[in-house]
Structure 1
Amino acid sequence: MKNIKKIVLGNKINSKVFSLGSEVYIVGGYLRDTLIGKESGDIDYVVRGNIRQFAMQLLAQRRRGAEAQKKLEGASIVELKRDRMIRLVLKNGLTLDFTELQGSIRDNLGGRDFTMNALAWLPGTGLIDLFNGAKDIARRRIKAISIDNFRNDPLRLLRAYRFVSEFGWKAEPETRNIVKHLRKKIRKSAPERITLEFFKLLNFKNFHKALKMASDDGLFECFLSITHKRLLENIKTIPSLELCIKKLPLKFKQNIEKSFSQELTLHGLLRLEQVLYGSSLNRNRLRLSRVIRERLKKTHKLLHKAEKQDIFSQENLFNTFFKAKDSAFDLLILSGNIKLLGQLESFKKIWKRSLLTSEEIMDITGLKGGVKLGRLIYGLKKMQFEGKLKTKKEAVTWLKLYYL
């Protein structure tokens, strides 16, 4: 707490912002993260006056802060009209958000979601904490400021659990009661916003705790098309999924935390596939990218098939990998068959390059393309995958016997 001034002003960009002389405050998550010792990827400012002019003035100023100016060079300027915000995206990934201060700083902070985010900092004044946010941060509590703030922006109902997932903190009983009371209003939020907030929840390490809590409070049934019973069953299997991921060989773990689509990591995607299993994807209030939707459809279809027949037997494995394609990795993880990952790697190599090329098969058979050629290519690769063909000579002999 005593070092917050040193940390804030030690940031050269903050110093440069304050040097412009306007009434400008740092607010929100940056201060929260500073208090808990976490590095923040963005800084929010509220400014009295024209925020576009202020941002342009910041970029144009060259007299002070050479280090800060270097960081600001090449920044992209984005105007978010819905949020009435100007955003500067720096080359290093840091974002600076500028919002116009309407009314007093008390009004601004009083309209925020949680006490831990209702913080402001001003040179000469220091930390402005009107709702005991610092105290709640110290006690690891997620506490709503008022029910009206949730009515004004129902996405905050889901955000409460996203913060549970991110920090592992406790959502106060009164805050959870607000969610229970207003849960149906989440449907008023745009599907795109719900999706990104839900994906953030899935990306963080305490997601299982957050999922169970939000499910118990009846929030998910308001935007996910899945029965409560099925959802609980899916959530119960999450620890097994995480254990399976933990046991992955290092070469498979290396990419699992990388972004897949819509800011969802591959790890988060596996969690999404598990949570939504048995749901009606077209009826969920989620705006999914095409690649995520197709991945879910394919994985869920094969998982459902696996409940009725052994699609992972040596006899069926090649066909399973063929149908799964890019979803094959997900399928093995979600079904607990990580022991087959080595065979999946073999499948990928064979499918990319088998004993005979398509051109060589056409030369031998006289085929110019079409379904017959496709079947021969598939059969040849399958025989190679199963170890029945090991050399090019064996492949040619098999092809002549099979087709000619």
Structure 2
Amino acid sequence: MINIQNIPEFKKAIPLIDKIEQAGYEAYFVGGGVRDTLLHLPISDVDIASSAVPDEIQRIFPITFDVGIKHGTVMVLHEKMTYEITTFRTESKYEKFRRPESVHYVRRLDEDLKRRDFTINAIALNRDGMLEDPFDGQEDIEKKLIRAVGNPMERFREDALRMMRAARFISQLGFDVEEETKQAVKDYHPLLSKIAVERIRDEWAKLLVGRNRKGGIKFFVETRLFQVCPGLQNREESLIDLALFPVQFQSQLIAWTILLYFLDIREEKVESFLKDWKLSNKEIRDIKKAYLALHHRLKKSWDHHILFDTGIEIALEVEEMVNGFGMVADVNQLLSLHKTMPIYTTRDIETNGKDVMEILETRKGGPHLGVILEDVKTNILAGKLKNNQAEIKAYIMRRKSIYMDEIQIDEYVVKKEHTAAFLGSGELDVLASPALIAFMENSCKEMLKKLVLPEETSVGTFISLEHRAPSAVGAKIKIEIKTKELHRNKYSFSLVAKENDQLIAIGEHTRSVVNREKFMDKLL
């Protein structure tokens, strides 16, 4: 017997049972709430089963909602809380191994309990604290055993999701599965393919955050359930590694992130993998952030860039994960770094798209504005640019030719010392290719001077030249330059050399921006 008055969740709901009994019907607390009470665990929900049919329940209570009424369930509002009251029932043949084709109401509790999945969930509790336990669920709770009610093969043919529920209960409760029930899962695991992915996902996610994840995954692998789950086919070794991860997952975000890690899912495949599991767009965005941040954190410390992209809430969860990889989590360092962030969102930047259009004197909007603001954001986070409207404007103006894909022009006059005869690369007094290359390199170097910090310089990493026509001493050479930023520290240049509008050469050049002192140290 249970002292029901000491259990607030049940005590609040006793008036509902009283009303049903006063109307001449039976009513009991059933399901997970009863099981968790016997296990001395917190109760997550209170479900009531009754001999009254839905129409009768609706007449008893003034405020009801037709939630699940097709399957005999009515939601009742009582003291600002809702409770599901389900009529005692038996079920006909199941369609697609999940939902009964029809429901038949019965007036006897034992008929209702025998349709339930496991004995630990087939226990009823009346308003006086007396237990109805026709299938010895209490004994199985004491033995920490998950046993199907009646014939396990029939239970799993009725509802194939029950096999995943068994795995989930192993993880949540730390129980084992009775041998006949386990064998039935092995035999019938292919039926899980008939179940909607969303329902499998919910059970799998609960399994991952359970206190006995190792046992749940072990059962999941041994019974071959994993073979009918999205993206897990033939990945038993990865799943075993996941099971052995030494830290309990405190959230589903952590669970999915570590799963991706052990499956070694490539960055470009993460979204499709999670979509196959029917996760929401927000969940996918957050998990992708966590996954990328985890890979960074396992190699390096946090910096403003990765923290900006990740966000502090997700970053704190990533910091929890590193403990499982033999690293020491440093939440205080992370929080301190967060306090020093120059900006937290793009809205914090003291320049917007409209401002950029005014700076560049253009009315043309579009994606290129986002590219410019991304560049501004990156340099603010790197400490290379202050989040100040005037400084941002000056920065954008210096880089206008890159942003607007403009052609810049530099001019040279061919002198005697630029000729092939003088340089020894030929016999004629014409512009030598090495000298033209030097013109081009010098133009690109001068262009970058206004883009780099005082302690930085640029070095050439590649140049190619196709010299098509000769130029005599005294010729005026015009070099047209288009600049493209490959990433923060590397630029490429497309070069065209002309003499009086006649094409004489084309070339390509790349330069990298380096710290002067560090670069020279490497040479010494």
Q: TM-score, normalised by structure 2?
A: 0.58
Q: Which of 110, 120, 133 is the matching residue for 2:124? A: 120
Does 2:199 align with 1:202?
A: no
Cα distance change on mapping 1:403 and 1:175 into 2, 3 Å: same
Shift of 1:306: 6.8
- Residues 229-248 of structure 1 aligned to structure 2 (within 5 Å): 229=236, 231-232=238-239, 235-236=242-243, 238-239=245-246, 242=249
Shift of 1:77: 1.0
CA contact (8 A) 1:32 1:116 kept: yes
Cα distance change on mapping 1:158 and 1:204 into 2, 3 Å: same
Stretches of structure 2 that go unaligned for 5 or more consecutive residues are 90-104, 402-524
Identity of aligned residues (%): 24
Counterpart position of 1:287:
278
Shift of 1:271: 0.6
CA contact (8 A) 1:26 1:43 kept: yes
Higher relative contact order (CA 8 A, sep 6+): 1
Does 2:225 align with 1:219?
A: yes
Distance 1:125 1:372 in 2: 69
Counterpart position of 1:166:
172
For the aligned residue pairs, the C-alpha RMSD in angstroms reads 4.0
Deviations 1:110-157 (A, max 9, x none): 221111111123468932111111122233322222312122111110
3-state SS in 2 of match to 1:361: helix
Deviations 1:175-222 (A, max 9, x none): 322222221111222323222222333344443442333223321222
| Structure with the larger helix share | 1
Counterpart position of 2:60:
58
Does 2:349 align with 1:354?
A: yes
3-state SS in 2 of match to 1:158: helix
Does 2:277 align with 1:270?
A: no
Does 2:389 align with 1:398?
A: no
3-state SS in 1 of match to 2:125: strand
Per mean C-alpha deviation after superposition, the further-off stretch among 111-120 and 374-383 is 374-383
Per mean C-alpha deviation after superposition, the further-off stretch among 180-189 and 360-369 is 360-369
Counterpart position of 1:85:
73
Deviations 1:255-290 (A, max 9, x none): xxxxxxxxxxxx212212322445674698733333
Cα distance change on mapping 1:78 and 1:3 into 2, 3 Å: same
Cα distance change on mapping 1:89 and 1:177 into 2, 3 Å: farther
Q: Which of 185, 190, 194 is the matching residue for 1:188? A: 194
Shift of 1:396: 3.4
Deviations 1:56-87 (A, max 9, x none): 23323xxxxxxxxxxxxxx5513315533223
Distance 2:397 2:37 in 1: 71
3-state SS in 1 of match to 2:86: strand
- Residues 353-372 of structure 1 aligned to structure 2 (within 5 Å): 353-368=348-363, 369-372=365-368
Q: Which of 368, 372, 376 is the matching residue for 1:376? A: 372
Shift of 1:303: 7.8
Cα distance change on mapping 1:375 and 1:23 into 2, 3 Å: closer
3-state SS in 2 of match to 1:178: helix
Q: TM-score, normalised by structure 1?
A: 0.72
CA contact (8 A) 1:4 1:34 kept: no
| Structure with the larger strand share | 2
Stretches of structure 1 that go unaligned for 5 or more consecutive residues are 61-74, 246-266
Does 2:128 align with 1:133?
A: no
- Answer with 1 or 2: which has the greater Rg: 2
Aligned length in residues? 361
- Which letter maps to 2:120? M
Counterpart position of 1:110:
114
